[in-house]
Amino acid sequence: MNQSMFIVWRESVEALLVIGILQAWISRQAGHAQLARFLWAGVLLGLLCSAGLAGLMLWAGDTMTGPQGEWLQAALTLLASGLMVQMVFWMHRNAATLKHSLVREADERLARQGGWGVLLLALLAVSREGSETVVFLYGAGARLHDEAQGLFAVGGVLGLALAGLTVLLLRGSRRFISWSLFFALSEALLLLLGGALLVAAVDRISGQLLGMDMPEWVYAAIGDSRWDSSALLSDSHGLGALLADFAGYRATPSLITVLVLLGYWLWVGNGLRRARHAA
């Protein structure tokens, strides 16, 4: 529930930010009423595209059962983790010029294609955010049991409501939170969640490899725990469960889990340094 609420909240705020920038730009154009109709048509089409992707992924998940389904869900969880990190890198490089770049592209599309260019721009922007949300949610929810999926859906609804409230607060007052602070905090949580999804994918892949004929050292690396900290902090409830969901914490991690998580944070640190340099 916590993961789905955060994912929908973060991605919805970004989508609403883009729509708000385009709305403000349209209000300064001639024939703004007609352009607004093109804008909202593009938003609707973007949502439909995202819904189509969600349906396709759910169909594929239901169709592929057994080991095939496990490998598919592991691959999509890895994809969600990688997309999260790449999105953070992209924001670090482009956040300062996001509004200017979007307005410039809108000007160019309006000059070349008229209202259809505005529709296409909104379609691409919303479908991108929506597609990321679908992939992130699928990756985060892949390991949930049936009884937990209802709460996962409730978290998504709460995230959408929270996104609307956040945008209102950001537009109405800067005393509590600014756009820069919002993106800094949400990016930190995205990186933590990306690590958690990576660990979840490793867990799923490890489970499949344990059922195969492998050398003994492979079984030791993916099946044997390096330590047991459950007496200090269990990963099944309370703070430990929250850290497991958002940071990939495991009370009894295997060697491959430790190495993968360490490699992930080294990659993230190097990527952030490069993104700052590029910015």
CB 254 within 8 A of CB 225: yes
- Predicted TM-score (pTM) of the model is 0.82
Distance CA 4, CA 11 (A): 11
Distance set, CA 17 to CA 10, 11, 179 (Å)? 11, 10, 10
Predicted confidence band of residue 260 (pLDDT cuts 50, 70, 90)? very high
pLDDT digits (tens, 9 = 90+) for 119-168: 998 998 889 888 888 888 877 776 555 556 666 677 778 888 888 887 77
- Distance from C-alpha of 151 to C-alpha of 133, rounded to nearest angstrom: 17
Write down the mean pLDDT value for the chain. Answer: 84
Residue 165: per-residue pLDDT: 83
Domain ranges of the chain: 2-278
57-116 pLDDT, tens per residue? 878 777 877 778 788 888 888 998 998 898 888 888 777 777 888 888 888 888 888 889
pLDDT value, residue 146: 53
* Exposure class string for 230-269: b at 16+ Cβ within 10 A, else e: eeeeebeeeebeebbbbbbbbbebbebbbebbeebeeebe
Residue with tokens 């024939």: 31
